Structure 1
Amino acid sequence: MAPTGFEFVVILAMLLNLVPPILVVIVCVLAIRWFIRQERAAKDPEAVKVRRSLGEVLRSHRERCHMTQEFVAQQVGVSRQAVSKWEQGASEPSTTNLVKLARIFDVDPADLMREVEG
């Protein structure tokens, strides 16, 4: 026999007494945040950022700045082929070169990495 509404509330209250109140609050906050994100995504699909590979991010910034691979390579101090490999995902720039790229593209290095798929 299924519990009535009152019995369900009593059972739920008994279970909540076993769970620390802070855990209940944390779960509620996480659920609310998830719900808000879902609503925002449903209303404005562009509000959800699309994550991209490092190569895609580097290429989009280079093209946004109207720079050639050759120009970027000269500024960083590497070959054009190295820049091409970074953009294709065949290799990745060193941390030092990544910071140089961010400066060339006038972007904070941390912001540049936030665009990259984790």
Structure 2
Amino acid sequence: MSVPELALWGLAGGFVVEALNLVASIRKHQVWPWHAPGELGLGLYLCCVFLRLLVGAIVAGALGADQQVTGAAGAFLIGVSAPLIIRNAVQQVGGTHEVPLTDATEEAVTLSSSGSEINAGNSDVA
């Protein structure tokens, strides 16, 4: 399978995650997410979706170019899990990176090189 094909499968994996997140948000708020109080507006929402899809495609393509993945299922699952792959890679090299673990209304966690988590979101979360 070629690298562009693997990248497209990674894109598809990211798309499935985003589609399921959209469905969950619609069910929770009973309106489009960008119309819900406290949620991102349409422009920012679409920007986040675009970047998430791009990350899935890039990570799957890069791993495919390095022969770390050769099939559609593997590239698809890389697209699904790309944010976790990047978060763990950054943590392994001793960097810090803020990664939202859930939707935009929930807290975010900042990872430090020691692996500890520091709340960067809601102050009422223990």
TM-score, normalised via structure 1 length: 0.26
| Max Rg structure | 1
User: Which structure dedicates a bigger proportion of its chain to helix?
Assistant: 1
User: Which structure dedicates a bigger proportion of its chain to strand?
Assistant: 2
